[in-house]
Chain A
């Protein structure tokens, strides 16, 4: 069962809605969630005094104390495994994994316990845990700091996966995920955390869209781009560039990666007849393959071209001097749009 929608936290009428980056919006969301529910805990490496390596938990330990913001021992299996126990005991842990590539010591606990406890206990045990994972490339980092492991988890039933691409979603989706009674893996586009140009006004009194729903960000007629997380910006930029050359592209932000909400995508493809799925993750056995499979099944007679994909390659993430080649960019997206249009 989905939890009730987020209740607007009380604010004094004089506080104007702030302009926030994605990183700050996540920080505000955590604060709001901790204020709203004393059972919400934050757990992770360096999340206390340091505020996390990306400062997403900045100031929270100072204000909520060491018992609610836990600088844990350095062990991801421990973070997830103990969070599960805490959840069984009635807490709502929000775990921070420092970087995408470091989730794997916790993989067993996520796949074997977190995902399955509700099913195994015939619904008697709920594990309302959020695992926040900064993901994706483009930050010029060393190995294991730029990966997109979402498909490894979307293949696991029992987990919900979401990804935000803008500050307003970051603010609401994280709070909604914390209120959700299912485990939610929350993928954060780390390269956009502190991008000033993406700042948005976040109104804590607004009412958010549902968490597990895709959203059409830009409507168009010639082809549809479906994507999520960091690639949303790439696709929006591609749509703007295409528009200048007279090609109208529709852009859909998936937001929920598992379970997928593909109805808006089907609807879009029935209109445009062409779909390009864009993601930084390797293509083999991925979310984009899943989307392609379902769209060809649901929209077979509407398709004017096969579903095409722009993704990372089927290789390990390369040394980051090469990441601009590896990551889907404007040129590759537009090139693929051309292929779809001239199929």
Chain B
């Protein structure tokens, strides 16, 4: 299959303008899907079979990842997946209003999340439970959003993990501004510099906010890593509804590097994100990473993917499972034995039980939460509204339970 590059730079006079400038639908799809054919385009350090491939550019970013550290990444991914499955089950049982599964995206999120330093800042969208884990935001703190009892359960300033953003693309500009601030504060320029990472999906790349984020970050040399998890789907729409060009190649048009990494390879995601963050913190930002991965479950628990995609596709991606390849690598190289895997499985089960217990016992917020924290400074008008409503509620029998 010809590379998509062939049609992105048509020469004048090559043939009739229309045929030179326009790719066929097949070329578009092939370009968007191309991974191994892309050769150097796809950074991979661990194959789906669990074999380590050398990378002259990126090996140096993971020299510290010995057996113990890799086991730790395996544990991260396993626990996060277990949390995800438990939350999915809790939704099915009516304990959560909705759940947004990360199944299949563990490597992208743990790889990126573990590349962050404590002073770095992260802006998630709404599926970044694995990144939250790496930022020490507890899974329990995420549940309130999906139990619909609050909009954000952690301190975003302390955790350096912004509230989840549901409006597609909004957080990208916010992240650009934060990164501009890091630069304006003089916290960029050497190895101790700070950087920001911003997560969004393949669908999000169509939003104006995301394009503006690219422009702003570039114009202000912001230390921002745009981390696009291309999980192949935006609800029911495949990537070709959003782009002719592989997403990472868009970066060039905005004037910064773009790279595609195997999003199911935790080692590669860690290496590439460390590289990109380092570039940013030393003053060479921004950077775009496209993590090529797959949404293995429904978009959310309200979605029915059988309406728009074939199960064959899922079966093919199951062979590239992000956790299984690490397991294979660890076993094959004698870095972990059965006891280790059993220990992690047991830990995951206990963890799931804790989460379940926490979830079913979560208290509902009191009605006056509606009126609190709307403004930073007191609003007498709103206070009056609150007082009137609470006194109305007090008029009901049993109101004391409030």
Residues on A with beta carbons closer than 8 Å to the beta carbon of B381: 314
Q: Can you spell out 24 A-B residue pairs with CB atoms less than 8 angstroms apart? A: A49-B236, A49-B307, A53-B302, A71-B236, A71-B241, A73-B203, A74-B206, A101-B166, A105-B207, A105-B208, A140-B97, A141-B148, A144-B167, A313-B370, A313-B385, A314-B385, A315-B371, A316-B374, A318-B369, A319-B150, A319-B151, A320-B97, A320-B148, A325-B367
A78 CB–B CB distance under 8 Å: yes
Return A223 CB to nearest CB of chain B, in Å.
19
Residues on A with beta carbons closer than 8 Å to the beta carbon of B169: 105
Chain A 142-175 interface mask (CB, 8 Å, partner B; 1/0): 1110000000000000000000000000000000
Given known pairs A104-B167, A141-B98, A143-B166, the reply for A53 and B235 (CB within 8 Å) is: yes
Q: Is the interface of A mostly helix, strand, loop or mixed?
A: loop
Is B365 within 8 A of A142, CB to CB?
A: no
Given known pairs A102-B167, A141-B97, A142-B146, the reply for A74 and B207 (CB within 8 Å) is: yes
A51 CB–B CB distance under 8 Å: yes
Choose from B149, B168, B364 the contact partner of A74 (Cβ within 8 Å): B168
A187 CB–B CB distance under 8 Å: no
Q: Nearest A residue to B308 by beta-carbon distance?
A: A49
Interface residues of B (CB under 8 A from A): 97-98, 144-151, 166-169, 203-204, 206-209, 234-237, 241-242, 302-303, 307-308, 364-365, 367, 369-371, 374, 381-382, 385, 389, 392-393, 396
CA distance A53 to B307 in the complex (A): 11
Q: Nearest A residue to B300 by beta-carbon distance?
A: A142
Return the 9 tightest CB-CB contacts between A and B, nearest first.
A50-B236, A73-B206, A74-B203, A320-B148, A49-B308, A321-B149, A75-B206, A318-B370, A325-B367
CA distance A142 to B148 in the complex (A): 6
Q: Nearest B residue to A324 by beta-carbon distance?
A: B367
Choose from B151, B168, B236, B389 the contact partner of A313 (Cβ within 8 Å): B389
Is B98 within 8 A of A73, CB to CB?
A: no
CA distance A21 to B307 in the complex (A): 22
Within 8 A of B (CB), among A33-68: 45-46, 48-51, 53
Is B382 within 8 A of A314, CB to CB?
A: yes
Choose from B209, B236, B242, B365 the contact partner of A321 (Cβ within 8 Å): B365
Give the number of residues in A that approach B within 8 Å (Cβ atoms). Answer: 37
Residues on A with beta carbons closer than 8 Å to the beta carbon of B147: 321
Return B299 CB to nearest CB of chain A, in Å.
9
Is B168 within 8 A of A46, CB to CB?
A: no
Residues on B with beta carbons closer than 8 Å to the beta carbon of A72: 241
Chain A 303-328 interface mask (CB, 8 Å, partner B; 1/0): 00000000001111011111001100
CA distance A130 to B245 in the complex (A): 32
Residues on A with beta carbons closer than 8 Å to the beta carbon of B97: 140-142, 320
Is B370 within 8 A of A315, CB to CB?
A: yes
Is B382 within 8 A of A74, CB to CB?
A: no
CA distance A313 to B392 in the complex (A): 14
Given known pairs A73-B242, A313-B385, the reply for A322 and B367 (CB within 8 Å) is: yes
Q: Nearest A residue to B371 by beta-carbon distance?
A: A315
CA distance A319 to B363 in the complex (A): 13
Within 8 A of B (CB), among A70-94: 71-75, 77-78
Return A308 CB to nearest CB of chain B, in Å.
12
Choose from A45, A51, A77, A322 the contact partner of B365 (Cβ within 8 Å): A322
CA distance A143 to B369 in the complex (A): 15
Residues on A with beta carbons closer than 8 Å to the beta carbon of B385: 313-314
Choose from B144, B204, B237 the contact partner of A46 (Cβ within 8 Å): B237
Residues on A with beta carbons closer than 8 Å to the beta carbon of B242: 73-74
Return A220 CB to nearest CB of chain B, in Å.
24
Residues on B with beta carbons closer than 8 Å to the beta carbon of A71: 236-237, 241
Residues on A with beta carbons closer than 8 Å to the beta carbon of B204: 74
Residues on A with beta carbons closer than 8 Å to the beta carbon of B303: 53
A294 CB–B CB distance under 8 Å: no
Q: Nearest A residue to B374 by beta-carbon distance?
A: A315
A314-B382, A316-B374 are known; give 4 further A-B pairs, CB within 8 A: A74-B204, A74-B237, A105-B167, A315-B374
Is B207 within 8 A of A75, CB to CB?
A: yes
Choose from B206, B308, B370 the contact partner of A322 (Cβ within 8 Å): B370
Residues on A with beta carbons closer than 8 Å to the beta carbon of B382: 314-315
CA distance A28 to B311 in the complex (A): 31
Is B371 within 8 A of A313, CB to CB?
A: yes
Residues on B with beta carbons closer than 8 Å to the beta carbon of A48: 236-237
Q: Nearest A residue to B150 by beta-carbon distance?
A: A319
Return A79 CB to nearest CB of chain B, in Å.
10
Residues on A with beta carbons closer than 8 Å to the beta carbon of B370: 313, 315, 318, 322, 325-326
